[in-house]
């Protein structure tokens, strides 16, 4: 009998990578997602059957048996119709994170965790291991622009994985090497308190193999009392760290720098990506690749050839008249890092930001911090909250951010009015931010600006 795998929430970035992996392993794959997207359309062209109504009757007949592997994301409702059907049917639905843990179990896993920075860093690390070592299998939290995929396949024993702190998913991993990029308060709907969230990071790093290593961004405060492996620090430019950048220069938006390691200096590095934050990400990824035994000379070439990740500081248009950048930032610290990078790259130019808040709970918990970061812009267009998995919270709307933003040129609007509003503006430097469905506007905005 042919092996089959069914995915509930197949359009998610992590779910789709595992669906592709199961397809590659010879499984017949199908799934459900709430809405079509570019990613689901790609999966369908790869031979995966997908439907968009949460209805047990829509599940293909051949998947309605107890031998079907059923995988779900915690982003879908626990009482969803299809999830409930499989439970009653005698299947035992498995969380995506547990499946990733199972796949990684017999691999030499390099995991990248952190409340922000992990997608770009893990994707860069996968690219470096592909260029400077024996390759890797990689499960990424974004679409690599080098490979146009969130899944890399290799016969290598090495596996690169984004270790997601949401729902404590990263506790399914027992890596050989782990990077922690940040541990700022987030997902308080899951953890309750920042202290509990940081405790979970401490639990994660305690699972690193004793002969492995933790690469921790300098200044990140997480419990290390249960750590049993080597500890290394990294930094953008702090010379007291084990890995750091030096001799940093910015020319025409491109950074060149040297990277100091405990075993020597990698000179004349050049980041293929804009923004100072990507120099910092490069230091972390280089550190992991060096400790994993990659060739230092090949790493430099790999860094230069890295094209980035879709929706991560993704420059869509760059002309003297207009610059358009799209970014996934949905946490105040991410917004601040992206905006300060843009201001450094394009000094004395007017920056208009469009931000779609993600989740009612995150908006409630960090309204003041969001406003502080967004006030670094010259102009702001603020959209309604994207609810994702949440029901509305009374009194929580985008206005609680909007009212605290200190810049004078700010507007609050809905998605259906955004394009007409933009049509009446002539942005100098435009950035779209958010983790919701703001991505559906990226192509229309790009086309509108190009046509001008």
Which H or E element spans position 314?
strand 314-318
Same domain, 367 and 427: yes
Residue 24 pLDDT: 96
SS3 at position 303: helix
pTM of the model: 0.87
CB 174 within 8 A of CB 214: no
Residue 1 pLDDT: 62
User: What's the pLDDT tens digit per position in 352-397?
Assistant: 999 999 999 999 999 999 999 999 999 999 999 999 878 899 999 9
CA-based max dimension of the chain: 65
Is 156's pLDDT higher than 70?
Answer: yes
Is 124's pLDDT higher than 90?
Answer: yes
CATH number reported for the structural domain that contains residue 430 in this entry? 3.90.190.20
pLDDT band, very low/low/confident/very high, at 29 (cuts 50, 70, 90): very high
Range of the domain at 80: 4-95
* Residue 24: both structure tokens together: 């590659």
Same domain, 135 and 275: yes
Mean pLDDT of 16-31: 97
SS3 at position 407: coil
Which H or E element spans position 366?
helix 360-374
CATH number reported for the structural domain that contains residue 36 in this entry? 3.40.50.720
Same domain, 189 and 275: yes
Which H or E element spans position 300?
helix 296-305
Same domain, 268 and 362: no
CB 328 within 8 A of CB 312: yes
Please tell me the least confidently modeled range out of 131-135, 289-293, 428-432, 446-450.
131-135
Same domain, 296 and 345: no
Residue 349 lies in a domain: yes
Report the chain's mean pLDDT, rounded to a whole number: 94
Give CA–CA dist 272/386, Å, rounded.
32
Same domain, 111 and 86: no
Is 447's pLDDT higher than 80?
Answer: yes
User: What's the pLDDT tens digit per position in 66-116?
Assistant: 999 999 998 888 889 999 999 999 999 999 999 999 999 999 999 999 998
Domain end residue (candidates: 280, 305, 330): 305
Give CA–CA dist 325/383, Å, rounded.
17
Same domain, 162 and 259: yes
Mean pLDDT of 143-152: 96
Give CA–CA dist 112/424, Å, rounded.
42
Domain end residue (candidates: 95, 128, 156): 95
Give CA–CA dist 39/48, Å, rounded.
11
The number of folded domains in the chain is 3
Residue 100 lies in a domain: no
Is 307's pLDDT higher than 90?
Answer: yes
CATH number reported for the structural domain that contains residue 267 in this entry? 3.40.1190.10
């Amino acid at each position: 009998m042919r092996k089959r795998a069914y995915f509930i929430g197949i359009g998610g970035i992590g779910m789709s990578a595992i669906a592709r992996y199961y397809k590659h392993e010879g499984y017949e794959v199908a799934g459900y997602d709430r809405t079509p997207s570019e990613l689901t359309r790609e999966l369908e062209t790869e031979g995966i059957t997908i439907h968009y109504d949460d209805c047990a009757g829509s599940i293909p007949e051949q998947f309605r048996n107890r031998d079907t592997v059923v995988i779900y994301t915690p982003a879908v409702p626990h009482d969803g119709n299809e999830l409930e059907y499989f439970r009653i049917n005698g299947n035992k639905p498995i969380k995506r994170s547990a499946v990733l843990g199972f796949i990684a179990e017999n691999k030499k896993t390099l995991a990248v965790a952190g409340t922000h920075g992990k997608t770009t860093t893990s994707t860069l690390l996968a690219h470096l291991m592909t260029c400077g070592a024996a390759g890797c299998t990689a499960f990424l939290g974004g679409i690599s622009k080098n490979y146009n995929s969130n899944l890399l396949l290799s016969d290598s024993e090495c596996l690169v994985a984004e270790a997601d702190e949401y729902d404590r998913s990263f506790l399914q991993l027992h890596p050989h090497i782990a990077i922690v990029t940040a541990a700022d308060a987030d997902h308080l709907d899951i953890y309750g308190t920042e202290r509990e969230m940081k405790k979970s990071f401490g639990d994660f790093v305690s699972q690193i193999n004793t002969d492995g290593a933790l690469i921790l961004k300098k200044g990140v405060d997480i419990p290390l009392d249960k750590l049993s492996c080597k500890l290394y620090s990294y930094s953008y430019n702090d010379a007291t760290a084990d890995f750091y950048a030096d001799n940093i220069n910015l020319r025409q938006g491109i950074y060149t720098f040297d990277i100091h390691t405990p075993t020597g200096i990698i000179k004349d590095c050049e980041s293929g990506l804009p923004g100072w934050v990507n120099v910092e990400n490069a230091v972390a990824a280089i550190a992991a690749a060096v400790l994993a035994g990659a060739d230092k000379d090949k790493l430099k070439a790999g860094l230069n050839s890295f094209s980035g990740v879709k929706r991560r500081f993704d420059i869509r248009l760059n002309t003297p008249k207009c610059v358009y950048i799209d970014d996934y930032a949905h946490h105040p610290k991410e917004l601040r890092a992206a905006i300060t990078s843009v201001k450094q790259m394009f000094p004395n130019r007017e920056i208009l930001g469009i931000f779609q808040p993600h989740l009612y709970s995150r908006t409630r918990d960090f309204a003041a911090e969001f406003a502080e970061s967004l006030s670094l812009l010259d102009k702001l267009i603020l959209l309604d909250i994207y609810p994702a998995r949440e029901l509305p919270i009374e009194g929580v709307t985008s206005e609680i951010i909007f009212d605290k933003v200190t810049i004078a040129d700010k507007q609050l609007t809905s998605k259906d009015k955004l394009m007409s509003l933009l049509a009446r503006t002539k942005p100098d430097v435009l950035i779209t931010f958010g983790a919701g469905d703001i991505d559906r506007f990226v192509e229309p905005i790009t086309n509108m600006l190009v046509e001008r």
